[in-house]
Amino acid sequence: MTNEKLYHQWARKLRIKKDKAPYLMIADFIAESVGNGRLKAKDRLPTVRQLSSILELNYATVAKGYAQAKESGLIDSRPGSGSFIKEKKAAGNFSHDAQYNLQMNAPVPIESVELIQKMKQSAAVIVEDQNILSILRYQNVLGSEAVREAGAQWIKKRIDGVAANKIIPCAGIHSALVALFSLFGKSGEICTPTFFYPGIKAISQQLNISVFSVDSDDDGPLPESFDNACKKRKVSAIYLNPTINNPTTVTMPLERRIALADIARKHGVSIIEDDAYGMLPTNAIASCYEILPEMTWYITGMSKCFAPGLRMAWIHAPSVLELNAVAASMRALTLMPNPLTNALVAQWIADGVADRALVEMRREAGIRQDLARQVLAGKHFTSDSAGFHLWLELPADAGVHSLEVAAKLQSLGVSAISSYEFSFGNPTVNAIRLCLGGDHQREECAMMLKSALKVIENPTWYSSVTI
């Protein structure tokens, strides 16, 4: 038997440490040994009977310990082959690319073979039917007329009053936010809700601008708090993500949107409307742009309703004159939009591929949200049936910080982010955002949710597990 010395060390630890059930300690020992390299991928473990003898435990206890380790994604077993350590890339029990970033809120994957084939055929048109050399030349920062028209066509699904000459393409919504925060950060401060897209912290630090949060409730920024901030500080803009908010999943009611727009109008404060998830609901509420078009910068893109690798978004400015101001900022940041990406997205919008992808995304998101409601029944969380993330509040008696829980879940391959990452300072809500999308298939999503449930129900069990 290989590693026999290691297993005898486990036996000594079991005799000394009595604060945890023996079967849980066996799973801990396996995890610890994988973490420190004592056990490597494909190493065969002793049979249950052999380990029972070494540890001086009964057969059922050791079998339960192996089952716990298997459920945690540490080991695998096959009839006739015994139990062995899993490959490290599969330690979380999920088959995803090692480079996949567990901090991103990625949409559900496109799985329709027919749609994928249509995407390929449509992409080929770009090379076969268009002047490829024209695509490879320098472009105006405003992009081609075709990509602006495509943006207008896409945005019209969500809002009225769209004009192609007020649109500028961007390399994703994050890029659009950098340009707008750069513009408004020069003339004053930008305020946000209590919880907001975490990229804003990085943007504000990089640009060295003042960004602060106003008091909020479940529906978004409190009007009186926003009004007081405008009276006491030099506020140039307010950032809002009103539809399927990231991270809280809440969609701001129409009454709150109108109230905030009235205050913005009164104080001459612009609205930066991040509508990343706005295309997903089929019954969307009127956008801030439709309520206050003369002062709202509307942003939407393809990352959350098609694919994150498509770094394609559009800013719809309040006026042509103001569009030129952000164009100067965009030119300094990126020089020009990516012509090939622009042409590809314009083609997919024109021939209906983007529409079909959106329909599939809505359908799959609904299935996964139903799955989440089943697995997490009884837990306090918010979600939207059209979205692909949820906001899970930890029990008051959990005794752990959401940062610890998120770290444990990430070690198991679960896309989880602490409420701390979505706010300035220490958040009043101890919660995590769970992503139901990414590269994970539906079955893997279910396993992720079950892992999350185990962690929040017994977070101390994972405190000693290193994967």
> What is the SS3 assignment for 335-397?
CCCCHHHHHHHHHHHHCCHHHHHHHHHHHHHHHHHHHHHHHCCCCCEEECCCCCEEEEECCCC
pLDDT tens column, 66-113: 888 887 778 887 766 788 898 754 333 333 343 345 567 878 777 777
Pairing verdict, β 211-213 and 216-217? unpaired
Strand arrangement of the beta sheet that strand 431-435 belongs to: 381-383, 389-393, 431-435, 416-418
pLDDT, mean of residues 299-317: 89
pLDDT tens column, 186-224: 999 999 999 999 999 999 999 999 999 999 999 999 999
pLDDT tens column, 381-424: 999 999 999 999 998 777 778 888 888 888 788 889 999 889 98
For the beta carbon of residue 56, count every other beta carbon within 10 angstroms: 10
Tokens found for residue 325: 């101001």
Architecture of domain 4-90: Orthogonal Bundle (1.10)
Asked if the domains 132-351 and 355-464 are classified in one and the same CATH topology, the answer is: no
The confidence score (pLDDT) of residue 434 equals 94
Q: DSSP 3-state assignment of 56?
A: coil
Architecture of domain 132-351: 3-Layer(aba) Sandwich (3.40)
pLDDT tens column, 142-158: 888 888 899 999 999 99
Domain residue ranges in the chain: 4-90, 132-351, 355-464
pLDDT grade for 461, boundaries at 50, 70 and 90: low
Q: What is the CATH number of domain 355-464?
A: 3.90.1150.10
The reported pTM is: 0.76
Q: Average pLDDT, whole number, for the chain?
A: 87
